[in-house]
Amino acid sequence: MKTVAALLLLAVVATAAAAPVDHRFRGYAYDLKTDKYLYTEVHRQKLDGTRWIDGTINYFDPAGNKIAAKTLDLTKDPLIPVFKLEIFKEHYVEAITDVEADRYTMLKTSDGKTQTKVITKTPGMGADSGFHSAIVASFDKLQAGETMKFQFGVAGQLDTYSFRCRKVGDTSFEGKPAIKLLVEPDSLLRLFVDRLDLTYEVKTRYLLEYRGVSNMHDPATGKAYNVRIVYTDTPPKDAPANLPPLE
């Protein structure tokens, strides 16, 4: 069930702008326990102010090999993207293939078997990286101490779950004022699914650090990594020398 939390792995949002712009950045992923460098994320987002329109995320191992890719389109619903995540060596795919006013369709391919499920939309429901848009929309309330509750679609499980998000403290990250958020299931599922710890910059509402279960898998075990991912302008000193370009 850790993959439920893994799919809440989020991206960064830009500040308001006069016209849609491309925002490009990297995420640097480490093993949460050993601090071993695991992989690099390369993000491209088209943003209209704080609204995320579409984008891509490419994943690279420390040697610079591309191991996975994700495309997203949030034009139909800002909280439920049409998306596709593919992990190449595993021949694994998860996706939301269609989003309509009252429903959306999930897809999962694993071990050579493809499954789909149609989900009925409810007000405020989100899915996959649309969770980030929900946090941005509720940022002022979260910062004031309110708890955000929502239904969330998880394509990797072909199901929906209840989650809650709340502020657990103020902090700073590389000198930037920030807040810490805790995300966990709003049910007894939290006894079985690891929590997520997120750090957001107050001014820009950028995600600065993510701690929790990854959507990338350890090839030695086939299980999802537990990771710490930092989103910084300057690569960490121990990041690979051959980092993939921002393209």
Return phi, psi of residue 93, to 5°.
-135, 135
Give 131's DSSP letter. H
State yes or no: pLDDT of 14 exceeds 50: no
Can you tell me the distance from the alpha carbon of 40 to that of 59, in angstroms, rounded to the nearest whole number? 6
Q: Assign 120 to helix, strand or coil.
A: strand
Does residue 237 fall inside a structural domain?
Answer: no
What's the distance, CA 5 to chain centroid?
Answer: 10
pLDDT value for 51 = 83
Tokens representing 121 are 């939309």
Does residue 6 fall inside a structural domain?
Answer: yes
**Terminus-to-terminus CA distance in the chain, angstroms?**
33
Neighbouring CB atoms inside 10 A of 147's CB total 13
Does residue 140 fall inside a structural domain?
Answer: yes
Does residue 239 fall inside a structural domain?
Answer: no
In the chain, the number of structural domains is: 1
Residue 180: which residues within 8 A CB-CB, separation 6 or more? 167, 168, 169, 170, 171, 197, 198, 199
pLDDT value for 15 = 37
Report the number of secondary-structure helices (H) and strands (E) in the chain: 3, 15
Return phi, psi of residue 120, to 5°.
-80, 125
Does residue 95 fall inside a structural domain?
Answer: yes
What's the distance, CA 84 to chain centroid?
Answer: 13
Give 186's DSSP letter. S
Tokens representing 200 are 């957001």
Residue 30, H or E segment: strand 21-31
Can you tell me the distance from the alpha carbon of 197 to that of 212, in angstroms, rounded to the nearest whole number? 7
- What DSSP letter does each residue of 99-116 carry, written as one string? E-SSEEEEEEEETTEEEE
The parent domain of residue 202 ranges over 2-230
Q: How confident is the model at residue 221 (pLDDT cuts 50, 70, 90)?
A: confident
Can you tell me the distance from the alpha carbon of 185 to that of 182, in angstroms, rounded to the nearest whole number? 10
Tell me what the pLDDT averaged over the chain comes to.
89
State yes or no: pLDDT of 10 exceeds 60: no
Does residue 244 fall inside a structural domain?
Answer: no
Query: For 66-88, what is the mean pLDDT?
Result: 96
pLDDT value for 97 = 97
Q: Assign 61 to helix, strand or coil.
A: coil
Cβ-count burial of 113 within 10 angstroms (0-12 exposed, 13-18 middle, 19+ buried)?
A: exposed
Does residue 188 or residue 225 have the better pLDDT? 225
Does residue 246 fall inside a structural domain?
Answer: no
**Which CATH number does the domain housing residue 44 bear?**
2.50.20
Does residue 33 fall inside a structural domain?
Answer: yes
State yes or no: pLDDT of 228 exceeds 90: yes
pTM above 0.85, yes or no: yes
Q: From residue 210, give the alpha-carbon distance in Å to each of 22, 122, 220.
A: 22, 28, 23
Query: For 47-57, what is the mean pLDDT?
Result: 87
